[in-house]
Amino acid sequence: MSMPDARTTQIRAGVADSWAVGLGLVPLGLAFGVVLTQGGFDWWWAPIFSTVIYAGSMEFLAVGLVTAVTPFASVAVATLLVNFRHVFYGLSFPLHLVRGRFARLYSVYALTDESYAIVAPKPRDGLTGTRVLTVQVVCQLVWVLSGVVGALVGTVLPAGLTGLEFALTALFTVLAIDAFRANRDLPAPAIAVVCGLVALVVAKEQMLVVGLGLFVVCLLVRYLYRTKVSRA
């Protein structure tokens, strides 16, 4: 098989890998676009958000944070805490298969929950850099295009629609339920609820940052304690 044919085969495999997840991104992207324009932004901000930020949950949060003129430091901390999991994604993501400096930079930038979920479980002997990049490109294209369509739809909808902001809450709820089903670790969600309530009481205006920070600290303490006990 010639090199162009081999590359075409890998591109097709990458598209086949990502089409189902891509379809799942469409309704979320549409919701983001509508939320963006309903928040007072012009439609063309949708591709900017989805290119510069390119992190679904953080893009939803960014709409509210920017609208509320949240201090930059708070935005930075919230972004770090929300997307800190990507650091661990990088430990098992097959970045070594991607050749070329620009291609690797893009692969790091485009490492999302969806692309990681598609690529990481696959056997390494069936993966190539072309296939990995195809998955990431398809996921981003679907996300950006659906966000633009949602933003255009949002421009013709009456202003002041309520309930759309619940899309982010629904997203986190679904992710939390799926995570609990995969690993029935009851203390983790219980700790999250307690941290959220504590943050609501002590720092209502900065609940997200404080709550996420407390949760990360609690998880670290719990991990260290369980490690110490297992070694004893």
pLDDT score at 162:
65
Are residues 174 and 202 both part of a single domain?
no
pLDDT score at 45:
92
Are residues 10 and 116 both part of a single domain?
yes
- As for how many domains the chain has, the answer is 2
> Which two tokens mark 209?
């940052």
Are residues 179 and 190 both part of a single domain?
no
Domain carrying residue 171? 3-183
Report the C-alpha gap between 42 and 154 in whole angstroms: 10
pLDDT score at 166:
67
Are residues 105 and 172 both part of a single domain?
yes
Are residues 149 and 207 both part of a single domain?
no
- pLDDT tens for 153-172 read 988 877 666 666 566 566 56
Are residues 65 and 105 both part of a single domain?
yes
pLDDT score at 24:
76
The pLDDT tens digits along the chain (232 residues) read 455 677 788 888 888 888 877 777 888 888 888 888 888 889 999 999 888 888 877 787 788 777 777 777 777 777 777 777 677 777 778 888 888 889 999 999 988 888 887 887 777 777 888 899 999 999 999 999 999 999 999 888 776 666 665 665 665 676 567 666 766 777 888 888 898 899 889 888 777 778 878 888 888 888 888 888 777 6
pLDDT score at 145:
93
pTM: 0.70
Distances (CA, A) of 109 to 25, 76, 133, 160: 18, 17, 11, 34
Are residues 60 and 162 both part of a single domain?
yes
Are residues 105 and 179 both part of a single domain?
yes
pLDDT score at 100:
86
Are residues 115 and 194 both part of a single domain?
no
- pLDDT tens for 53-76 read 888 777 877 887 777 777 777 777
> Which two tokens mark 6?
């081999």
Q: Which residue has the tokens 């304690």?
A: 225
Are residues 108 and 20 both part of a single domain?
yes
pLDDT score at 170:
67
Q: Which residue has the tokens 């549409």?
A: 30
Are residues 197 and 167 both part of a single domain?
no
DSSP states of the chain as a string? --HHHHHHHHHHHHHHHHHHHHHHHHHHHHHHHHHHHHTT--TTHHHHHHHHT--HHHHHHHHHHHHTT--HHHHHHHHHHHHTHHHHHHHHS-GGG--SHHHHHHHHHT--HHHHHHHTTS-GGG--HHHHHHHHHHHHHHHHHHHHHHHHHHHHSPTT--STTHHHHHHHHHHHHHHHHHS--THHHHHHHHHHHHHHHH-GGGHHHHHHHHHHHHHHHHHHHHHHHHH-
pLDDT score at 62:
80
Are residues 47 and 154 both part of a single domain?
yes
